[in-house]
Chains A and B, each alone.
Chain A
Amino acid sequence: MKSRLGLVIALVVIGAALAVAKPVFLTVPNLINVVRQISINGILAVGVTYVLLTGGVDLSLGSMVALAGVVAASFAHPGEYPVFVPVLLGVLAGAACGGVNGFVVTKGRVAPFIVTLGMMAVARGLALVLSGGKPVSNLSAEFKWIGDGLVPILVLLVVAGASWVFLANLKLGRHLYAVGGNENAARASGINVDAVKLFAYTVCGALAGLAGVVLAARITSGQPNAGAGYELDAIAAVVIGGTSLSGGVGGVGGTILGALLMGVINNGLDLLNVSSYYQAIVKGIIIVGAVWLDRRKEKS
């Protein structure tokens, strides 16, 4: 709760500074633009929050985005299937990858870092194989609508809202926190630790799939090379939002704030005409700095 207050203050301060420097920042179209820009990262970040809460990590997000985009686009050509088919298949493709991640992590007792690093390569390869290495374009208008205007923002809001309710009000949500807080004690309390972790990785994969669908709709093609590096932005947003990498602490509220903060800073640097090379440097410093401040607060 306290770390979220710090985030809100940071958001307000940076927002105010930007508003002074560049009045255009505070206009409605620009603010909508900010939120639209974070929608993909936001969906991914919410998904990976589940995994980070259990004390795991998922590095395969970006590749799952590409795979889901290619799969969805392949079924989204005009006049072929109703629009829910490509959406569902995209989400399922992500969920399947996430499920495999979870299965190997729990049954194989392989470190999540390694498992998802492997999936990062496999899912990327699958996306390239399925698409023959070329973008899958010629998509139906209904499908492209998903990436239009306010729709991505709406998707993010629904995903974040549902996850917030889930984590705070369902037994399974509580169990996620318990597993991340102390796996042994969770097990001794009768919690099926493996099932909880499998669930977390599957949800994370499904949401990565959804993000892939939205991205494909927005860029009007399934790109096998899309999403590279997205996992790092998503994990950064979660961690800035106060979720502990060692698990058990955090939540969706912080994640959304973290994603917003990153979006505002990106937008501000764009408005200030900072070159994207320097933007990368600034982003890196902010990620480490935010967590550093957080740790110092924890100690005191």
Chain B
Amino acid sequence: MLQVRNLSKSFPGVRALDNVSLDVVAGSVHALMGENGAGKSTLMRIVSGLDTADAGEIRCSGRVVMIHQELMPFRDLTVAENIFMGQEPTRGIGGWLDKPAMHREAQRLLEHLGMTLSPTRPMRHLSVAQMQTVEIAKALSRRAELLIMDEPTSAISEHEVEALFKIIRDLKARGVAVIYISHKMDEIFRIADTVTVLRDGRHVATHPIGELDEAKLIALMVGRELSVGGPRSVEAAGEVALEARGLTKPGKFYDITFTLRRGEIVGLAGLMGAGRTDVANAIFGMTPADSGEIRVHGRPACIASPRDAIALGIGMVSEDRREFGLVPTMSVKHNLTLASLRGWLLDRRAENRIADEQIRAFAIKTPNRNQSVAHLSGGNQQKVVLAKTLLTEPTILILDEPTCGIDVGAKAEMHTFIRQLARDGKAVLLISSELPELLALSDRLLVMREGVLTAELDPRHATQEEILQHAMPDSGE
């Protein structure tokens, strides 16, 4: 059905895919696994035609449709209009919509998928699972023979997952091939026929599911022990720097209480959408909590904006560095100094000196300090954001997915920096979706699930499975 041969793709500074091959058989579910940044998304973007490869070959004998993790429906249009977007049935000349045909056909597709839903319902009234089914109906209406599903269960309940799996088995029976991307082990073993593991842009292994168990699969994905220089001594932790008490923002997070000590790295684990970033944004004043208390160095703090947070010695490196980290129209130098300009007048000489110091200290790869920051690679951009944040001399540092989307080398450097920060006495809250990273770097580990803190673990003894158990909805309890 699908043959991918020796595919390679590079982005500035990152080798996203390196000589990857993949075969997908019609009527089977092929799971694609790997840590964040392993190259799954890049590969799927190329297969579905959203991106082009630098080298390699793709042979595909049918139509490919990808269902993205973040669904992007036309919320104000109806279910039927969404299904037939761009391929509406028409009548006569002038393109009059054949609405009866549209509704009839939509009804048929939805019933086929075991869903009772009026084709005339506006999309915005649907649940995420229902929207997903509509997406699948849309794919079927286009006679898709290969369906790519990127983390389809990240935002739906266990009950809905069961319904989705029923649909997938059904598609399989009709000869549709499915590429299934997920981080959730149990799902893979329930639905997949074959598993391919990618790591750092390379193909690691492809096995029939029967030959694997969880331990083997994790070993393939992780592949290497993350060594960040020996175990950490917890005694190093000093006095309490940050204290959150009962932070609540309805719909986002509830009753979040924890402390953060100087010299300590506290990891915050959880699945996407668990509310980790929302908590970070609340502490940093981007979107303050509705109730609860934050204490900084023992004193109650009122943080209504990032300005307040920075004044209190809190720094944050956001998960979305393009949106919240960088000013793309500015140079590396101006980005570096942006948060720490003092006085009224700019001191250009000092600015140049500081920029050069930071470029050297963080080994930022840039031709010079006046280079536009938009031209840097992801890892170097991330270093710019970290350096910028550190120039505000924070004592408390929130790092939200600091190694997301950067290459392996930069990742290792980032780990060293984070370690060093704690050694320098800063209190670090580390949010990451990469469990090995969290286990290797953290002194303590908090786990969030659906807006609530569910566990505090000791990373020296905790395992990835244990963390996932506390992080995954409707499991274990």
A interface list, Cβ under 8 A from B: 168-174, 177-178, 180-182, 184-192, 244, 247-249
Task: Determine which of B310, B324, B329 lies in contact with A181 in the assembled complex, contact meaning CB atoms within 8 Å.
Answer: B329
Q: How far is the CA of A190 from the CA of B337 in the complex (A)?
A: 12
Q: Given known contacts A170-B346, A190-B392, what 9 new A-B pairs fall within 8 Å (CB)?
A: A169-B348, A173-B346, A174-B334, A182-B327, A187-B305, A188-B324, A189-B306, A190-B309, A190-B339
Cβ-defined contact, A171 with B345, below 8 A: yes
Task: Determine which of A174, A180, A185, A247 lies in contact with B326 in the assembled complex, contact meaning CB atoms within 8 Å.
Answer: A185
CB contacts (< 8 Å) of A184 on chain B: these are 323-324
Q: Known: A181-B328, A185-B326, A188-B325. Contact between A171 and B307, CB under 8 A?
A: no
Q: How many A-B residue pairs have CB under 8 A?
A: 79
CB contacts (< 8 Å) of B316 on chain A: these are 188
Q: Known: A188-B318, A190-B306, A191-B307. Contact between A171 and B341, CB under 8 A?
A: yes
B: interface residue count bin: 20 to 34
**Chain A: minimal CB distance from B106 (Å):** 36
CB contacts (< 8 Å) of B342 on chain A: these are 171
Q: Known: A187-B305, A187-B306, A189-B339. Contact between A181 and B344, CB under 8 A?
A: no
Q: Nearest 9 pairs between A and B by C-beta? A: A248-B329, A181-B329, A181-B327, A189-B339, A190-B310, A182-B327, A190-B307, A188-B324, A171-B341
CB contacts (< 8 Å) of A187 on chain B: these are 286, 305-306
Task: Determine which of B324, B329, B345 lies in contact with A170 in the assembled complex, contact meaning CB atoms within 8 Å.
Answer: B345
B residues 288-338 touching A (CB-CB < 8 Å): 305-307, 309-311, 316, 318, 323-330, 334, 338
Let me know if B343 is at the binding interface, CB within 8 A.
Answer: yes
Q: How far is the CA of A180 from the CA of B338 in the complex (A)?
A: 13
Let me know if B388 is at the binding interface, CB within 8 A.
Answer: yes
B residues 265-280 touching A (CB-CB < 8 Å): none
CB contacts (< 8 Å) of B345 on chain A: these are 169-171
CB contacts (< 8 Å) of B284 on chain A: these are 188
Cross-chain pairs A/B with CB under 8 angstroms, 20 sampled: A168-B346, A169-B345, A170-B346, A171-B345, A172-B344, A177-B334, A178-B330, A178-B334, A178-B338, A182-B328, A185-B323, A185-B326, A186-B327, A187-B306, A188-B316, A188-B325, A189-B339, A192-B305, A248-B327, A249-B329
Cβ-defined contact, A171 with B344, below 8 A: yes
CB contacts (< 8 Å) of B343 on chain A: these are 171
Cβ-closest chain A residue relative to B330 = A181
**Chain A: minimal CB distance from B31 (Å):** 36
CB contacts (< 8 Å) of B339 on chain A: these are 189-190
**Chain B: minimal CB distance from A176 (Å):** 11
CB contacts (< 8 Å) of B324 on chain A: these are 184-185, 188
CB contacts (< 8 Å) of B327 on chain A: these are 177-178, 181-182, 185-186, 248
**Chain B: minimal CB distance from A201 (Å):** 20
Q: How far is the CA of A174 from the CA of B330 in the complex (A)?
A: 10
CB contacts (< 8 Å) of B388 on chain A: these are 189
Cβ-defined contact, B330 with A192, below 8 A: no
Q: How far is the CA of A144 from the CA of B330 in the complex (A)?
A: 44
Cβ-defined contact, B329 with A177, below 8 A: yes
CB contacts (< 8 Å) of A247 on chain B: these are 329
CB contacts (< 8 Å) of B392 on chain A: these are 190
Q: How far is the CA of A186 from the CA of B338 in the complex (A)?
A: 8
Q: How far is the CA of A247 from the CA of B392 in the complex (A)?
A: 25
Q: How far is the CA of A247 from the CA of B330 in the complex (A)?
A: 11
Q: How far is the CA of A188 from the CA of B308 in the complex (A)?
A: 11
**Chain A: minimal CB distance from B348 (Å):** 8
Binary contact readout B344-360 vs A (1 if CB under 8 angstroms, 0 otherwise)? 11101000000000000
Task: Determine which of A174, A185, A248 lies in contact with B325 in the assembled complex, contact meaning CB atoms within 8 Å.
Answer: A185
**Chain B: minimal CB distance from A129 (Å):** 39
**Chain B: minimal CB distance from A168 (Å):** 8
Cβ-closest chain B residue relative to A247 = B329
Q: Known: A190-B339, A190-B392. Contact between A248 and B306, CB under 8 A?
A: no
Q: How far is the CA of A249 from the CA of B325 in the complex (A)?
A: 18
Q: How far is the CA of A181 from the CA of B327 in the complex (A)?
A: 5
CB contacts (< 8 Å) of A189 on chain B: these are 306, 310, 338-339, 388
Q: How far is the CA of A172 from the CA of B341 in the complex (A)?
A: 10
CB contacts (< 8 Å) of A190 on chain B: these are 306-307, 309-311, 339, 392
Cβ-defined contact, B329 with A174, below 8 A: no
Cβ-defined contact, A174 with B328, below 8 A: no
**Chain A: minimal CB distance from B419 (Å):** 24
Cβ-defined contact, A188 with B286, below 8 A: yes
Q: How far is the CA of A244 from the CA of B324 in the complex (A)?
A: 21
Q: How far is the CA of A66 from the CA of B329 in the complex (A)?
A: 36
Among B329, B342, B343, B345, residue most surrounded by chain A Cβ atoms (within 10 Å): B329
Q: How far is the CA of A112 from the CA of B321 in the complex (A)?
A: 27
Cβ-closest chain A residue relative to B388 = A189
Cβ-closest chain A residue relative to B348 = A169
**Chain B: minimal CB distance from A116 (Å):** 23
